[in-house]
A = this chain, B = another copy of it.
Amino acid sequence: MANQTHDKRAARTKMLIRDALTELMEEKGFEGVTVRNLTEKAQINRGTFYLHYRDKYDLLEQSEEEILKEIEDKARGINPKDALHSTSQDEPFPVILKLFEYFQENARFMRVVLGPKGDASFQVKLKELIKQQFLQNIASKLNVEDMLVPAEYFIAFVSSAQLGLIQHWLETGMKKPPKEMALIAAKMILLGPGHVAGIK
């Protein structure tokens, strides 16, 4: 139960368990996964699981928290001034680009946890993170006074759209590179869906 990160065995076991989680979630979804399943797939004793995690929910939470932390760290590495600034027509917003890059690196787990068999609470947390990033990087450019709609709905709209774009991209096999996806996102946000699609 202690902090056993300084033992090769513990690190290996945790990795085996997390890999098993990804595989099993792909098969049955998180609901369908049992601790038995996990330990059989990971080829470890069932008791060993409880040395590291309280239950399967604890395992999922820890995995998700780590991901959220890593994304936050990535975003922190960008100067807020540059975050939503494109140097040229072909350069997307750095924050959004970083986001797509991170998801590509961790595609297997992200795809399943954000998919239909995944975890609704994680989607909410991730959307919240995207909201915060948007607010931090866009606050100065926003003129809350004369917006055409209340800010809260604007931000809910944009962050959901951004997450939905990522989900669709993951679900369809990431056929376009992160840079291209980031450009698509930027166009949609700045120019607007209606204009982008040539409606009216």
Contacts and interface: CB of A to CB of B under 8 A. Distances in A.
Interface of A: 29, 31, 57, 115-121, 123-125, 127, 138, 141-143, 146-154, 156-161, 163-165, 167-169, 172, 181, 184-185, 187-200
Given A148-B187, A159-B164, A160-B165, 11 more contacts: A141-B199, A141-B200, A149-B188, A152-B172, A154-B193, A157-B165, A158-B193, A160-B160, A164-B164, A189-B193, A190-B200
Nearest to A125: B116
A77 to B, nearest CB: 23
A196 B152 contact: no
Contacts of A121: 29, 116-117
A141 B143 CA distance: 32
B197 A142 contact: yes
Given A141-B199, A160-B164, A188 B154 contact: yes
Contacts of A150: 184
Given A120-B120, A160-B164, A143 B190 contact: no
Contacts of A141: 199-200
Given A31-B31, A120-B116, A199-B138, A157 B194 contact: no
